[in-house]
Amino acid sequence: MPTSIARTGARVAGRRARAVLDARRSVALDRMHPLDRMLGLGHLNLLFAGGEHRTDIVTAARDTAPMSSTADTGPAPGAHVLLIAPAGSYRIGDHLAAAHDLGCAVTVATDAAVAIPGSAIVVDLDDPMGTAAALLATLDRPIDAVVGTDGAAVAVAGEIARRCGLPANPASALAAADDKLAQRRALAQAGVPQPEFAAIGAGEEVEAHRAAALLPAVSKPVDRTASQGVVRADTPEQLRAAVVGVRRLVGASAPVLVERFVPGVEVAVDGLLRGGRLQVLAVFDKPDTPTGPTFPETLLVSPARLTDDASAMVLDVVERAVRAVGLTEGPVHAECRVDGDRVRFLELAARTIGGLCSRSLRVAGLRVEELVLRHALGLPVPPAGADGATGVLMLPVTGTGRLVAVHGVERARAVPGVTDVAIPIAPGTRVVPLPAGDRYLGFVFASADDPDACERALRRAWAELTVEVAPTSAPHG
């Protein structure tokens, strides 16, 4: 695109966004959504920066939402947070609301301009070093903290933190946390109990590969989340088909990770690392632990219903895994399976629990995103206490097509113990079930005096929901 066209487009976008912002300012700030309130107060800097024309678009967006020198309320007044997030992340709004509660000013960087109303720095999250340099050159004031919400944003945030002298994970640790095969190898070297595994490379025959000896086995891509591409196989023929499916999803040249299937109850641990020390925020169990052929997550309930001995073993294995991978700072989400007196580690990620599931958690009344920001800003993080039970239902996609509606939401909200129901996918969106899909239709949140009551509330709410999907033909190409 010629530079003149890019500049014209940036000016037009700037005028439109300024008009939107002026309209927002005419609304009483105390009635605004936190995102709009931050925009109106100038505490949220939403910038465009795309490709070779970065400077032109950044200038237009700065005119749209100039950042004030300070934010005026909360425990971190005036602190400047750089938030980096994939455009499709569920987490942007919750992080912005948490920043508002802390009194922070925020600059948002993302990989597409559609992530939030207004505008945002558009960056290449697949190039951490280049993006870090470009962002630091773009910002007009120092940052006090940087947070990557999930996905490739975590590596970019880590690179920026290291360049700014902020607490950060080593690049090698973040790479291992984002690559399931590298993670398996690091865990094996450290002797962390985990499933037996093998990697099938491009062109290798499945039947002749030692992975065939791991049956029943689970094949998966090395770089996907939300159980995308994860399939159990009980026979060599099923394993071959599963590997073909993974390669169709990620490309023929990518390795396919094959692991011996591990029975048992699955648990998840969420925590924060500071200087290598793990502060546990919550331990969830998964009452409907999947056994295959695909692995949708549905119910998660905290605190996990484990014996004291099993809980201690889980936390010991998680801490060993964190050390093996090399993570030292920030959020961590880890998963294990408990089978009798055996605990085997499944995987970890340098982020909080996925989707909107973090909304099910409160620590001393604070949302998880505020805890993450407090950690990044060097503020105290209160310890987790015994505040009853909380849980979340992740509503899986069960058919391919266009989402028409999720019926019964108000009835589900009315179930005693249910605190909210969120359906973030808009009607008309094409949805695909596992193993090809990577999203959940919605989330139901509940709280109760004990985990069993919490689970019952979630199941009652689930029974009230009916998903309507209009079948469509598979896309071509």
Domains of the chain: 3-168 (no CATH), 196-260 (3.30.1490.20), 262-387 (3.30.470.20), 389-477 (3.90.600.10)
Percent of the chain's residues with pLDDT above 90: 63
pLDDT of residue 151: 85
- Tens digit of pLDDT for each residue in 261-275? 999 999 999 999 999
Distance (Å, whole) CA 234 – CA 292 = 10
Spell out the SS3 assignment of the chain: CCHHHHHHHHHHHHHHHHHHHHHHHCCCHHHCCHHHHHHHHCCEEECCCCHHHHHHHHHHHHHHCCCCCCCCCCCCCCCEEEEEECCCCCCHHHHHHHHHHHCCEEEEEECCCCCCCCCCEECCCCCHHHHHHHHHHHCCCCCCEEEECCCCHHHHHHHHHHHHCCCCCCHHHHHHHCCHHHHHHHHHHHCCCCCCEEEECCCCCCCCCHHHHHCCEEEECCCCCCCCCCEEECCHHHHHHHHHHHHHHHCCCCCEEEEECCCCEEEEEEEEEECCEEEEEEEEECCCCCCCCCCCCCEEEECCCCCHHHHHHHHHHHHHHHHHHCCCCEEEEEEEEEECCEEEEEEEECCCCCCCHHHHCEECCEEHHHHHHHHHHCCCCCCCCCCCEEEEEEECCCCCEEEEEEECHHHHHCCCCEEEEECCCCCCCEECCCCCCCCCCEEEEEEECCHHHHHHHHHHHHHHCEEEEECCCCCCC
**What Cα–Cα distance (Å) separates residue 163 from each residue in 146, 159, 166?**
11, 6, 8
Instruction: Say yes or no to pLDDT of 253 above 80.
Output: yes
pLDDT of residue 475: 52
Instruction: Say yes or no to pLDDT of 375 above 70.
Output: yes
* Both structure tokens of 198: 């093998």
Distance (Å, whole) CA 392 – CA 458 = 7
pLDDT of residue 474: 56
More reliable by pLDDT, 350 or 21: 350
Which of 79-93, 214-228, 290-304 has the least mean pLDDT? 79-93
Instruction: Say yes or no to pLDDT of 175 above 50.
Output: yes
Q: What mean pLDDT do residues 15-26 have?
A: 33
Categorize the per-residue pLDDT at 206 as very low, low, confident or very high, splitting at 50, 70 and 90.
Answer: confident
Categorize the per-residue pLDDT at 110 as very low, low, confident or very high, splitting at 50, 70 and 90.
Answer: confident
pLDDT of residue 264: 97
More reliable by pLDDT, 22 or 230: 230
Percent of the chain's residues with pLDDT above 70: 81
- Tens digit of pLDDT for each residue in 69-91? 334 456 778 899 999 988 778 78
pLDDT of residue 179: 96
Contacts 24+ apart (CB under 8 A), 244-248: 245/219, 245/435, 245/436, 246/219, 246/220, 246/221
Strand partners, 415: none
Which of 127-136, 180-189, 399-408, 455-464 has the least mean pLDDT? 127-136
pLDDT of residue 40: 41
* Both structure tokens of 195: 């499933």
pLDDT of residue 71: 41
Q: Look at residues 196, 176, 124, 231 and name the one whose alpha carbon lies nearest to residue 349.
A: 176
Contact 328, 273 (CB under 8 A): yes
In terms of phi and psi (left: phi > 0; alpha: psi -120 to 50; beta: otherwise), the region of 153 is alpha
Positive or negative torsion for Cα 358, 364, 365, 370 = negative
Mean pLDDT across the chain, nearest whole number?
A: 83
Instruction: Say yes or no to pLDDT of 11 above 50.
Output: no
Instruction: Say yes or no to pLDDT of 6 above 80.
Output: no
Categorize the per-residue pLDDT at 387 as very low, low, confident or very high, splitting at 50, 70 and 90.
Answer: confident
pTM given for the model: 0.83
Which of 135-149, 277-291, 412-426 has the least mean pLDDT? 135-149
pLDDT of residue 235: 95
pLDDT of residue 30: 36
Contact 83, 92 (CB under 8 A): yes
Which of 62-76, 236-250, 277-291, 441-455 has the least mean pLDDT? 62-76
Instruction: Say yes or no to pLDDT of 184 above 80.
Output: yes
Q: Which residues of 143-162 are buried (b: 16+ CB within 10 A; e: fewer)?
A: bbbbbbbbbbbbbbbbbbbb
Instruction: Say yes or no to pLDDT of 34 above 80.
Output: no
Q: Look at residues 301, 266, 267, 305 and name the one whose alpha carbon lies nearest to residue 446.
A: 301
Residue 388 burial (CB count, 10 A): 14
